[in-house]
Amino acid sequence: MGSPNLEVFKFGIYLFVPLFSLVYFGDPAWYHAHVVPYRDKLLPPLEKTVRDLPTEQSRVREELERIKQERMQRLREKNKDA
């Protein structure tokens, strides 16, 4: 077992690292400078996301059929160009 000074040092590190990271990464300015631009690169814009998900079975089937038709149309256009 280490000396009391070593134990106090380790205890200080165990407390300091999480508190420092909480203060540093929890700052709203850091969040807006680093996270928001990266989030915009990864996720589609809100205008392109579907917010009204169908809950009825008939609407789900209609939506799946629409998606299949769009996919087939894109495939036809891709094959036509090639």
Is pLDDT at 47 greater than 80 in this prediction? yes
Question: Which amino acid makes up residue 20?
Answer: F
Range 59-63 average pLDDT: 93
Is pLDDT at 48 greater than 90 in this prediction? no
List, for residues 21-42, the tens digit of each pLDDT value.
999 999 999 999 999 999 889 9
Residues 36 and 59 in one domain: no
Sequence-distant (6+) residues with CB within 8 A of 60 are: 54
Domain that holds residue 76: 52-82
Q: Structurally, how many domains does the chain consist of?
A: 2
pTM above threshold 0.85 = no
Residues 3 and 41 in one domain: yes
Residues 45 and 56 in one domain: no
Give the total residue count for the chain: 82
Could you give the CA distance from residue 9 to residue 72 in angstroms, rounded to a whole number?
Answer: 65
Residues 60 and 40 in one domain: no
Residues 59 and 34 in one domain: no
Is pLDDT at 1 greater than 70 in this prediction? no
